Amino acid sequence: MKNLILGFSLMLIAGAGYSQDDPIVMSVNGTDVTKSEFEHIFKKNNKDEDITKEDIDEYLELFVNFKLKVTAAEELGMDTVKKFKDELGQYREQLAQPYLIDQKLNEQLMKEAYDHMCYEVKASHILVKLERGDKPADTLKAYNKIVTAKKRIEGGESFGTVAFEVSEDPSAKQNKGSLGYFTAFKMVYSFENAAYNTEPGKLSEIIKTRFGYHLLQVEDKRKARGTRLAAHILIRAEDDLKEKAIESEAKAREIYNKLKEGSTFEQMAKQFSEDRNSAATGGKLKWFGAGDLISEFDEALFALKENGDFSEPVKTRFGWHIIQLLDSKKLGSYDELKGEIKSKISKDARNTKTKASFITQLKDEYNYTVNKKVMDAFIKSVDSSLVKGKYSYEKNNLDKKWLIEFAENKLTAGDFGEYLENKQKKSKTKSKVEIVQINFNKWVDKALINYEKSQLERKYVKYKMLMKEYRDGILLFELTDEMVWAKAVKDTSGLKSFYEENKADFVWKERVDADFYHCIDKKAFNQVESLLKLGKERDSIAIVVNTDSPLNVNVKSMKEEISSLEYVESKLKVGSNGPFEFNGQLVLIHVKEIIAPGNKEFKEAKGIITAAYQDHLEKKWIKELKSRFAVEINKDVLYTIH
């Protein structure tokens, strides 16, 4: 056909022949793409409210290329291999989670969490630990211990004194149980709830968490202060070495004085901060809220008033910090924080509540029934080996009798027996009947959830779309890696041939081979300049200039394109150049050689050459795919997207 001579064409299809509910927008190698599928991905990648014909046309080319690659992967059978199925299964599991909870209850818990986030609670606590597998007698002993502690406080003893003596939280010996201020999601859910439901000045009821029994005293409740974006300069201090600790404090105070004199915080952090994770970004940290920081750092940060303000050196267990306030923001509205809250709830104990409620809903929806007669007979058939963790299921007359029924499923006593054998654990505290019931509940929950997962694509269009998107995305990645990314790295001869054929694209602009002296002030600059005139070498210059302070000069030797030195406005010459102002410092550039423009050697530019070769391979591949697979576009349907 004439329209396929060049391998690819966008054809207009007649408006008839497709579903009015979800018409066909295009066909790739005979496989239809519905309007809903294209629209879902298009709008996900184009957030603008006003969609123009030009927007659709621009995205169309990318989408067609995407579908061509997926078609090629399917032709190779990449969607049938174990690796693909395993990876898609992992994504299926992740994407299913939001659909496997009680949405109404989840919304209530989200709003409760936001209400908590609007306030910060200051509290102290006493902990009496419980260990997993504790015998009832040990549990009772722990409970009685915290009851006694509560009575002592109610009798007039101070909470701090009792916490110091009784609490099994190791930090209580230093802080007498004080936790400082915290907000939602900083503590386990039951602990958080107790704190927010207790009036300031009052004791909470005794609560139980996975750590043990807790008693709280709420000291204060205040409106949330929002979050703050901070930067810091850290000078580590080793408290066990007195001389080193004194030296660290002196260095921190010297940096602080330089900042007061006008040195930029970002540059000083890059040069001197001993926090390797943040130094490269000028000391920049992340957004912090209540309970995120150790108290000394928290108090200093939230005491700063204006963006750009910085603190005096602050001592923590990590060393000396100089803290700068970069930005601050008030707590956002519920709608603004909804996504963040939803994500956090999915990872804490609230999620257990929503899942349990969801299981109850599924039982109602699918008419769940348990065969009590078979269940009672099954329990009688289990011997004491279960308590020892040595139970072995043996087939019997119950084996094929249905134990639970829901939707179109009937699971037998034999199914449960095999599950119990595989999941059993030795127990010192639970009876045979308790162990059977616990495992039965887990088995039922798992069966219901697995069935519901199998129904998600039928019940939820959005989930179906997501699964399709992830499926195609995995295929796209795997084949593109094979045909483009990995190929460019492994094909060394092809890469070098590409470089030789395109040398003119990989060139250096005019460069300097120079020593760059970043000086703290004019005095240090003049000293460097004088020593260079005397013929002193780079390292000896740095030693002399930094005699009274290691902050005076920082020197780097490198080759740089002159055009990349944005702070250099005049023409550079061999020898000393400057001063140039950069990041609050004065820079002297001592040029050893001016290097004329020229081709980059293969080793010098391998990274950008590889990237260019990958782009070349992809274009060549797309051209080949377009010659193999026919693409038809129904523009009448395409342009109805808005």
Distance, CA of 258 to CA of 552 (rounded, Å): 10
Predicted pLDDT of residue 294: 85
What's the whole-number mean pLDDT along residues 465-482? 95
CATH topology of domain 227-329: Chitinase A; domain 3 (3.10.50)
Distance, CA of 23 to CA of 9 (rounded, Å): 20
Predicted pLDDT of residue 550: 83
pLDDT of 114 above 60: yes
Contact assessment for residue 319 and residue 234, using Cβ atoms and an 8 Å cutoff: yes
Predicted pLDDT of residue 48: 67
3-state secondary structure of 521: coil
Tell me: the pLDDT tens digits for 81-112? 999 999 999 999 999 999 999 999 999 999 99
* Closest listed residue to residue 104, CA positions, set 297, 294, 423, 360: 360
Q: How confident is the model at residue 16 (pLDDT cuts 50, 70, 90)?
A: very low
Distance, CA of 296 to CA of 314 (rounded, Å): 7
Instruction: Bin 319: left if φ > 0, else alpha if -120 < ψ < 50, else beta.
Output: left
In angstroms, the Cα distances linking 384 to 232, 339, 422, 612 are: 62, 49, 16, 69
Distance, CA of 330 to CA of 592 (rounded, Å): 53
Tokens 């005076």: give the residue: 552
How would DSSP label each residue in 248-283? Answer: HHHHHHHHHHHHHTT--HHHHHHHH---HHHHTTTT
Predicted pLDDT of residue 240: 57
Distance, CA of 113 to CA of 342 (rounded, Å): 10
Predicted pLDDT of residue 242: 67
Q: What sign does the CA torsion over 151, 154, 155, 160 have?
A: positive
Distance, CA of 634 to CA of 642 (rounded, Å): 16
What's the whole-number mean pLDDT along residues 392-419? 95
What amino acid is encoded at 165 in this protein? Answer: E
Q: What share of the chain has pLDDT > 90, as a percent?
A: 83
Exposure letters 206-226 (e unless 16+ CB within 10 A, then b) = bbebeebbbbbbbbebeebbe
For the chain, first and last CA: distance in Å?
Answer: 33
CATH topology of domain 119-223: Chitinase A; domain 3 (3.10.50)
What's the whole-number mean pLDDT along residues 494-510? 95
pLDDT of 4 above 70: no
Q: What sign does the CA torsion over 40, 42, 46, 49 have?
A: negative
Distance, CA of 332 to CA of 579 (rounded, Å): 46
Q: What is the mean pLDDT of the chain?
A: 92
Predicted pLDDT of residue 6: 28
pLDDT of 330 above 50: yes
Distance, CA of 163 to CA of 149 (rounded, Å): 8
List beta partners, residue 590.
515, 576
* Environment class of 321 (CB within 10 Å of its CB; exposed 0-12, middle 13-18, buried 19+): buried
Tell me: the pLDDT tens digits for 575-590? 999 999 998 899 999 9
CA 217 to chain centre: 34
Predicted pLDDT of residue 600: 94
Tell me: the pLDDT tens digits for 29-72? 999 999 999 998 998 888 766 888 999 999 999 999 999 999 99
The CATH architecture of the domain made up of 507-599 is Roll (3.10)
Tokens 């916490």: give the residue: 163
Predicted pLDDT of residue 428: 82
pLDDT of 289 above 90: no
What's the whole-number mean pLDDT along residues 486-497? 94
Predicted pLDDT of residue 365: 97
The Cβ-side half-sphere exposure at 471, using a 13 Å CA radius, reads 15
Predicted pLDDT of residue 291: 76
Cα angle 406, 466, 68 (rounded to 5 degrees) comes to 130
Contacts of 346 (CB under 8 A, 6+ apart): 97, 98
Predicted pLDDT of residue 8: 28
530: number of Cβ within 10 Å: 13
Tell me: the pLDDT tens digits for 226-269? 999 999 999 998 765 666 778 889 999 999 999 999 999 999 99
Predicted pLDDT of residue 89: 95
**β-strands 511-519, 553-561: how paired?**
antiparallel
Predicted pLDDT of residue 19: 45
Domain(s) labelled CATH 3.10.50.40 in the chain stretch across 119-223, 227-329
* Closest listed residue to residue 456, CA positions, set 11, 63, 91, 20: 91
